[in-house]
Amino acid sequence: MTMDAKRRAWVAVGAWVAIQLVITSLPGKDVPITANHPWDWFIHAGMYGMFGILLVRAAAASGWHGRRSVWLLLGVSAYAALDEVHQLFIPGRDGSAPDWAFDTLGLAAGILFGRWMMSSAAVAKWLR
């Protein structure tokens, strides 16, 4: 994979993190949708699922082996916990352990799906 492709993959990860930080930093009154549970949990899982897919793509572009997926999961799960704590300080928002659990479940699903996609030569070629 070329250096440009690797750079684009990591830029996509950084952009996703920036989007997440903006969304989770919005005061409760400015959040465009109000989702009640369990829909809120699907949103959490979806956001972190996409994060996992983008991370696996960038990791594969950088030559990381699949064994490092566990470290990606642990590191980003810790980031998700910090994000939930961060939301405690945002007016009208809250952080919770169930939200963090769904962040982590979505992340795990995204990493597994990303690994499956990158293991398919045709799909991996398309993602590069």
Number of domains in the chain: 1
- Residue-range definition of the domain harbouring residue 74: 3-25+34-127
Helix (H, G, I), strand (E, B) or coil at 24: helix
DSSP 8-state secondary structure symbol assigned to residue 67: G
What average pLDDT is seen over the chain?
87
What mean pLDDT is predicted for residues 53-70? Answer: 87
- The predicted-structure confidence for 70-103, as pLDDT tens digits, reads as follows 998 999 999 999 999 999 998 988 888 999 999 9
- The predicted-structure confidence for 25-43, as pLDDT tens digits, reads as follows 888 777 766 666 678 889 8
24-33: long-range contacts, CB 8 A cutoff, minimum separation 24? 24/83, 24/86, 24/87, 24/90, 24/93, 25/86, 25/90, 26/90, 26/93, 27/90, 27/91, 27/92, 27/93, 28/90, 28/91, 28/92, 28/93, 29/91, 29/92, 31/92, 31/93
